Amino acid sequence: MKKTFLSSAFQISVTVLIGSSIVFAQSGASSGGGGSLLWVFLVGMIVALAVGGLIAWRMNQKELTATTAGVKEIGFGPDKSPAGEGGAGNKADRRRASRSHDSGSANPSLHGIDIDDVKEKMEKIRFERLPINRIDALKSPRTFSALPAGDDEELLRAIEDSDVEFVEDEEVRDAALDVLAGFRTRNSVDAIAQMAIYDLSSTLRSKAVGILADIDHESVFESVILSCADPTREVRAAGAKALFKLSFNRTDAWLRLAECGESYRVSQAAKAAIEADFVGRSLERLVHKDVSYAGEALALLALLIKAGETDELLDYLLLGDKKDVKLALLRVFRIVGDEAAIEKLRMLVDSESLTDDILAEASVVVGSKEEAVASD
């Protein structure tokens, strides 16, 4: 406060000095004898300012000495922490200590919250938003235009030469296959498909599968699926490559197989899917965020359920390690609604070998089907 007062006094003195100088200068200009008086006044003011400055300097020195003495009495140690406060530190240290204490204390707003319960609820919300939960029923597969039948003489002759039951010479069958590849007709596709599945030569079977992929028509799908379960690695690789190349909607293709009404074909396709290890990948895709992947997985698993090939699915409910996949799989059982599959699921529920959360959901699926049957 003293410094502020002295500074203000000094500024006022300077202002008075300048103002007086101007007044005396004007007076001297108007009356020729005012110059000497002005110099006397200026000298006096300079002396007064010098004395005032000296006094202010002495007072500042005294104030600094008093402050230093006060600091020594408090007793700051080498670490700048007041010894009288037990080394608690300066203000910044005390603020850090306070924050550390606060962070170490439990937040009252978090008392009583079960972290595991929160995590479980978040997982449930995430699962409910998956595309599989927006599918309530199997859709009817879209129809496609059948290929025309061919009656070309060269084509008909090649069809005869491609039949392994009547033509033993592999070179003849190979030449016939080349001819068939040049025709995009219903009977040419049927002949190539027969070679892809039944020809004695794995080389010709593999070649035939590749030709089916090039034709890329919905009618080749079943044969490509069967080739994926071929006994030889060469043909299985060709089948997997062909399946990747097909550009039509595979979800519709699986559904057409599942609903073809021919139990033998359904069973063969289901067994081929199992042999080709499509089931494991389809289970993972059930919980995919892309509806097209989830839809295809649902269609393939529906084929398995309708074919009665449910052992691998039930085993996953029992031994699988992903809860969301299990819940999605139970939803598939509910959507398909196959009575034989639901009966197997009921037996699994009665065994009480499922985990509690999966057991509860499986019981709901079984109960819903039983209620539906009772109402009918």
pLDDT band at 124 (very low <50, low <70, confident <90, very high): confident
Question: 352's torsion region: left (phi>0), alpha (psi -120 to 50) or beta?
Answer: left
Helices 323-336 and 339-350 meet at what angle, rounded to 10?
A: 140
Query: What pLDDT, on a 0 to 100 scale, did the predictor assign at position 53?
Result: 63
Average pLDDT of the segment spanning 59-72:
51
What pLDDT score was predicted for residue 17? Answer: 54
Q: What is the pLDDT of residue 328?
A: 96
Statement: residue 29 has pLDDT above 80: no
User: Is residue 249's pLDDT more than 50?
Assistant: yes
Across the chain, mean pLDDT equals 81
For residue 52, give every residue at least 6 positions away whose Cβ sits within 8 Å of its Cβ, in sequence order, or none. Answer: 6, 9, 10, 13
Predicted local confidence at residue 38, as pLDDT: 57
Question: Residue written as tokens 């020809």?
Answer: 199
Output the pTM of the full model. 0.67
What gap in Å lies between CA 184 and CA 216, rounded to an integer? 10
Average pLDDT of the residues in 68-85: 41
What pLDDT, in 10s, does the model give residues 351-369?
989 999 999 999 999 987 6
Q: What is the pLDDT of residues 275-315, one digit of tens each?
A: 999 999 999 999 999 999 999 999 999 999 999 999 999 99
Rounded CA-CA distance 37/20 in Å is 12
Residues 94-110 as b or e (16 or more Cβ within 10 Å = b)? eeeeeeeeeeeeeeeee
Alpha-carbon span 127 to 361, nearest angstrom: 14
Residue 14 has pLDDT above 60, yes or no: no
Q: For 153-202, what is each residue's pLDDT tens digit?
A: 999 999 999 999 999 999 999 999 999 999 999 999 999 999 999 999 99
Q: What percentage of the chain has pLDDT greater than the value 70?
A: 68
Does domain 149-248 fall into CATH 3.90.1410.10? Answer: no
